[in-house]
Amino acid sequence: SSLGDSAFVLSEAFFDFRKQCLATENWLNKYDENGMQVWVEVPAANKKNHVPKVHKIKCKMTIKDVSAATMYDVIHDGQYRKTWDPAMHESFDIARLSNNADVGYYSWVCPNPIKKRDVVTLRSWQKIDDEYIIINFSVKHPKYPPTKKLVRAVSMLTGYFIKPTGPNSCTFIYLSQADPKGSLPKWVVNRASTRLAPRVMRCVHKAGRDYPEWKKQNSPDQKPWLYPEQNKLPMMDPAELSIQRADSLENVDESSKLDAEDSEDSS
Protein backbone atom coordinates (compact mmCIF):
# COMPACT_ATOMS: atom_id res chain seq x y z
CA SER A 1 0.00 0.00 0.00
CA SER A 2 2.67 2.49 -1.03
CA LEU A 3 1.49 6.00 -1.81
CA GLY A 4 2.62 5.90 -5.43
CA ASP A 5 -0.61 7.41 -6.72
CA SER A 6 -0.93 9.90 -3.88
CA ALA A 7 -2.96 12.41 -5.92
CA PHE A 8 -5.76 9.87 -6.36
CA VAL A 9 -5.60 8.77 -2.70
CA LEU A 10 -5.85 12.41 -1.61
CA SER A 11 -8.71 13.43 -3.89
CA GLU A 12 -10.71 10.44 -2.57
CA ALA A 13 -9.81 11.38 1.01
CA PHE A 14 -10.90 15.02 0.58
CA PHE A 15 -14.20 13.92 -0.93
CA ASP A 16 -14.86 11.39 1.84
CA PHE A 17 -13.86 13.81 4.59
CA ARG A 18 -16.12 16.63 3.37
CA LYS A 19 -19.03 14.20 3.06
CA GLN A 20 -18.56 13.01 6.66
CA CYS A 21 -18.29 16.58 7.95
CA LEU A 22 -21.65 17.49 6.45
CA ALA A 23 -23.45 14.20 7.19
CA THR A 24 -26.01 14.02 9.98
CA GLU A 25 -27.04 10.35 9.91
CA ASN A 26 -25.49 7.92 12.41
CA TRP A 27 -24.06 10.68 14.62
CA LEU A 28 -25.11 10.87 18.26
CA ASN A 29 -25.00 14.28 19.94
CA LYS A 30 -22.99 14.28 23.19
CA TYR A 31 -22.60 18.01 23.83
CA ASP A 32 -24.47 21.10 22.68
CA GLU A 33 -23.95 24.51 24.25
CA ASN A 34 -22.68 28.01 23.43
CA GLY A 35 -22.59 27.42 19.68
CA MET A 36 -20.55 24.22 20.03
CA GLN A 37 -21.68 20.68 19.32
CA VAL A 38 -19.92 17.34 19.68
CA TRP A 39 -21.11 14.07 18.15
CA VAL A 40 -19.79 10.53 18.20
CA GLU A 41 -20.55 8.06 15.48
CA VAL A 42 -23.16 5.47 16.36
CA PRO A 43 -21.39 2.19 15.58
CA ALA A 44 -23.29 -0.56 13.79
CA ALA A 45 -24.96 -2.98 16.20
CA ASN A 46 -22.37 -5.46 17.40
CA LYS A 47 -21.72 -8.13 19.96
CA LYS A 48 -22.44 -7.29 23.59
CA ASN A 49 -21.21 -4.00 24.96
CA HIS A 50 -18.09 -3.81 22.85
CA VAL A 51 -16.40 -0.39 22.59
CA PRO A 52 -15.48 0.02 18.92
CA LYS A 53 -11.75 0.14 18.16
CA VAL A 54 -12.12 3.12 15.89
CA HIS A 55 -13.25 6.26 17.65
CA LYS A 56 -15.10 8.75 15.48
CA ILE A 57 -15.83 12.19 16.86
CA LYS A 58 -17.06 15.34 15.20
CA CYS A 59 -17.03 18.83 16.72
CA LYS A 60 -18.69 21.87 15.19
CA MET A 61 -18.26 25.43 16.35
CA THR A 62 -20.10 28.52 15.22
CA ILE A 63 -17.46 31.25 15.38
CA LYS A 64 -18.80 34.81 15.29
CA ASP A 65 -15.59 36.82 15.73
CA VAL A 66 -12.81 35.18 13.66
CA SER A 67 -12.58 34.77 9.88
CA ALA A 68 -12.30 31.40 8.14
CA ALA A 69 -8.92 32.46 6.69
CA THR A 70 -7.53 33.17 10.19
CA MET A 71 -8.77 29.84 11.59
CA TYR A 72 -7.14 28.10 8.62
CA ASP A 73 -3.83 29.85 9.40
CA VAL A 74 -4.09 28.87 13.08
CA ILE A 75 -4.43 25.18 12.27
CA HIS A 76 -1.45 25.33 9.91
CA ASP A 77 0.96 27.38 12.00
CA GLY A 78 3.15 24.86 13.83
CA GLN A 79 5.05 27.54 15.77
CA TYR A 80 1.82 29.03 17.04
CA ARG A 81 0.39 25.64 17.98
CA LYS A 82 3.04 25.30 20.69
CA THR A 83 1.44 28.28 22.45
CA TRP A 84 -2.19 27.09 22.52
CA ASP A 85 -2.58 23.32 22.08
CA PRO A 86 -3.24 21.89 25.56
CA ALA A 87 -2.73 18.25 24.52
CA MET A 88 0.46 18.57 22.49
CA HIS A 89 3.58 16.83 23.76
CA GLU A 90 5.84 17.18 20.71
CA SER A 91 5.27 18.14 17.09
CA PHE A 92 7.46 18.68 14.03
CA ASP A 93 7.33 18.57 10.23
CA ILE A 94 9.45 15.90 8.54
CA ALA A 95 9.28 16.54 4.79
CA ARG A 96 7.10 17.97 2.06
CA LEU A 97 5.52 15.82 -0.60
CA SER A 98 4.06 18.54 -2.85
CA ASN A 99 2.87 22.14 -2.69
CA ASN A 100 -0.10 21.13 -0.58
CA ALA A 101 1.07 18.02 1.28
CA ASP A 102 3.65 17.19 3.92
CA VAL A 103 4.46 14.51 6.44
CA GLY A 104 4.89 15.20 10.14
CA TYR A 105 5.06 13.84 13.66
CA TYR A 106 2.70 14.68 16.54
CA SER A 107 2.46 13.27 20.06
CA TRP A 108 -0.03 14.10 22.77
CA VAL A 109 -0.75 13.63 26.44
CA CYS A 110 -3.71 11.46 27.45
CA PRO A 111 -5.72 11.66 30.68
CA ASN A 112 -3.67 10.26 33.57
CA PRO A 113 -2.81 7.27 33.85
CA ILE A 114 -3.19 6.46 30.11
CA LYS A 115 0.09 6.40 28.14
CA LYS A 116 0.98 9.16 25.69
CA ARG A 117 0.10 8.52 22.04
CA ASP A 118 1.88 9.54 18.85
CA VAL A 119 1.21 9.53 15.10
CA VAL A 120 3.15 10.04 11.89
CA THR A 121 0.75 11.50 9.36
CA LEU A 122 0.51 12.69 5.81
CA ARG A 123 -1.26 16.04 5.88
CA SER A 124 -2.80 17.76 2.90
CA TRP A 125 -4.82 20.94 2.44
CA GLN A 126 -6.94 22.69 -0.14
CA LYS A 127 -9.22 25.66 -0.59
CA ILE A 128 -12.01 25.17 -3.09
CA ASP A 129 -14.44 28.04 -3.62
CA ASP A 130 -14.84 29.37 -0.08
CA GLU A 131 -14.20 26.10 1.76
CA TYR A 132 -10.93 25.32 3.53
CA ILE A 133 -10.11 21.69 4.23
CA ILE A 134 -7.09 20.20 6.00
CA ILE A 135 -6.87 16.42 6.35
CA ASN A 136 -4.39 13.89 7.65
CA PHE A 137 -4.01 10.13 7.82
CA SER A 138 -1.35 7.85 9.29
CA VAL A 139 1.61 6.72 7.22
CA LYS A 140 4.68 4.60 7.86
CA HIS A 141 7.91 6.56 7.59
CA PRO A 142 11.14 4.50 7.53
CA LYS A 143 12.93 6.90 9.89
CA TYR A 144 10.13 7.28 12.45
CA PRO A 145 9.04 3.82 13.61
CA PRO A 146 7.00 3.35 16.82
CA THR A 147 9.01 3.61 20.05
CA LYS A 148 8.53 1.89 23.40
CA LYS A 149 7.82 5.09 25.31
CA LEU A 150 4.65 6.00 23.44
CA VAL A 151 1.76 4.09 21.93
CA ARG A 152 1.64 4.60 18.15
CA ALA A 153 -1.97 5.48 17.31
CA VAL A 154 -3.55 5.54 13.86
CA SER A 155 -5.45 8.36 12.20
CA MET A 156 -7.65 6.83 9.51
CA LEU A 157 -8.87 10.27 8.48
CA THR A 158 -8.79 13.36 10.66
CA GLY A 159 -9.04 17.03 9.82
CA TYR A 160 -10.76 20.38 9.70
CA PHE A 161 -13.48 21.86 7.50
CA ILE A 162 -13.81 25.65 7.69
CA LYS A 163 -16.39 27.71 5.84
CA PRO A 164 -17.00 31.47 6.15
CA THR A 165 -20.43 32.67 7.24
CA GLY A 166 -19.39 36.34 6.87
CA PRO A 167 -16.18 38.42 6.60
CA ASN A 168 -15.30 37.78 10.25
CA SER A 169 -17.21 34.63 11.14
CA CYS A 170 -17.20 30.97 10.15
CA THR A 171 -18.33 27.43 10.77
CA PHE A 172 -15.44 25.33 12.08
CA ILE A 173 -15.65 21.52 12.05
CA TYR A 174 -13.10 19.09 13.45
CA LEU A 175 -13.58 15.43 12.62
CA SER A 176 -11.40 12.57 13.78
CA GLN A 177 -11.54 8.94 12.87
CA ALA A 178 -8.75 7.28 14.80
CA ASP A 179 -7.66 4.06 16.43
CA PRO A 180 -5.90 4.88 19.72
CA LYS A 181 -4.36 1.36 19.59
CA GLY A 182 -5.43 -0.28 22.74
CA SER A 183 -8.51 -1.08 24.73
CA LEU A 184 -9.28 2.20 26.40
CA PRO A 185 -11.53 2.34 29.43
CA LYS A 186 -15.07 3.62 28.81
CA TRP A 187 -14.43 6.70 30.98
CA VAL A 188 -11.67 7.88 28.62
CA VAL A 189 -13.91 7.54 25.59
CA ASN A 190 -16.79 9.32 27.32
CA ARG A 191 -14.62 12.09 28.67
CA ALA A 192 -13.11 12.70 25.22
CA SER A 193 -16.48 13.67 23.79
CA THR A 194 -18.05 15.51 26.72
CA ARG A 195 -15.09 17.34 28.26
CA LEU A 196 -11.86 17.09 26.32
CA ALA A 197 -13.18 17.93 22.84
CA PRO A 198 -15.09 21.05 23.98
CA ARG A 199 -12.02 22.23 25.90
CA VAL A 200 -9.74 21.85 22.87
CA MET A 201 -12.32 23.61 20.67
CA ARG A 202 -12.48 26.54 23.10
CA CYS A 203 -8.67 26.71 23.02
CA VAL A 204 -8.57 26.76 19.22
CA HIS A 205 -11.24 29.48 19.11
CA LYS A 206 -9.29 31.63 21.54
CA ALA A 207 -6.15 30.90 19.50
CA GLY A 208 -8.00 32.29 16.47
CA ARG A 209 -8.85 35.51 18.30
CA ASP A 210 -5.25 35.95 19.46
CA TYR A 211 -3.51 34.93 16.24
CA PRO A 212 -3.37 38.24 14.30
CA GLU A 213 -1.58 39.97 17.23
CA TRP A 214 0.80 37.04 17.75
CA LYS A 215 1.59 36.73 14.05
CA LYS A 216 2.59 40.41 13.84
CA GLN A 217 5.46 39.62 16.23
CA ASN A 218 6.36 36.21 14.75
CA SER A 219 7.50 36.09 11.10
CA PRO A 220 4.39 37.92 9.85
CA ASP A 221 5.16 37.23 6.19
CA GLN A 222 5.92 33.51 6.63
CA LYS A 223 2.94 31.37 5.65
CA PRO A 224 4.31 28.43 3.64
CA TRP A 225 0.86 26.81 3.56
CA LEU A 226 -0.26 29.78 1.42
CA TYR A 227 3.07 30.48 -0.31
CA PRO A 228 4.72 27.13 -1.14
CA GLU A 229 7.93 28.82 -2.30
CA GLN A 230 8.58 29.68 1.39
CA ASN A 231 8.60 26.00 2.36
CA LYS A 232 12.16 24.95 3.24
CA LEU A 233 11.39 21.35 4.23
CA PRO A 234 13.26 18.66 2.27
CA MET A 235 11.25 17.08 -0.55
CA MET A 236 10.27 13.45 -0.21
CA ASP A 237 8.79 11.03 -2.72
CA PRO A 238 5.32 9.90 -1.48
CA ALA A 239 6.15 6.41 -2.80
CA GLU A 240 8.60 6.05 0.11
CA LEU A 241 5.63 6.18 2.45
CA SER A 242 2.90 3.62 2.91
CA ILE A 243 -0.47 3.89 4.60
CA GLN A 244 -0.25 2.80 8.24
CA ARG A 245 -2.79 0.07 8.86
CA ALA A 246 -4.03 -0.25 12.42
CA ASP A 247 -3.78 -4.03 12.55
CA SER A 248 0.00 -4.03 12.04
CA LEU A 249 0.60 -2.15 15.30
CA GLU A 250 0.68 -3.49 18.81
CA ASN A 251 -2.45 -3.14 20.94
CA VAL A 252 -2.08 -1.99 24.53
CA ASP A 253 -4.72 -3.03 27.03
CA GLU A 254 -5.46 -0.11 29.33
CA SER A 255 -9.14 -0.90 29.78
CA SER A 256 -8.82 -1.54 33.50
CA LYS A 257 -7.06 1.74 34.26
CA LEU A 258 -9.03 3.87 36.68
CA ASP A 259 -9.64 7.55 36.23
CA ALA A 260 -6.88 9.33 38.18
CA GLU A 261 -9.26 12.20 38.94
CA ASP A 262 -11.88 9.82 40.35
CA SER A 263 -9.35 7.97 42.49
CA GLU A 264 -8.07 11.32 43.81
CA ASP A 265 -11.63 12.31 44.65
CA SER A 266 -12.18 9.10 46.58
CA SER A 267 -8.93 9.22 48.55
**Residue-wise pLDDT tens digits, 216-264:** 999 999 999 999 999 999 999 988 898 887 676 666 665 666 655 554 4
Residue 155 lies in a domain: yes
Q: In the chain, how many domains are there?
A: 1
User: What range defines the domain where residue 125 resides?
Assistant: 5-43+56-181+215-243
The amino acid occupying position 137 is F
- How many other C-beta atoms lie within 10 A of the C-beta of residue 151? 22
Structural domain includes residue 93 = yes
- Reference 30, options 60, 75, 64, 53; nearest CA is 60
* 256 belongs to a structural domain: no
pLDDT means over runs of 10, the chain (267 residues): 68 93 92 94 64 82 98 97 93 95 94 88 95 96 93 93 98 92 74 83 97 98 96 92 74 60 42
DSSP state of 63: E
pTM summary value: 0.88
Three-point CA angle 177, 179, 182, nearest 5°: 155
113 exposure class (CB count in 10 Å sphere: 0-12, 13-18, 19+): exposed
Q: Is residue 189 part of a domain?
A: no
Tell me if residue 69 falls in helix, strand or coil: helix
CATH code, domain carrying 62: 3.30.530.20
Asked if 109 and 118 count as a contact pair (C-beta separation under 8 A), the reply is: no
Residue 46: per-residue pLDDT = 57
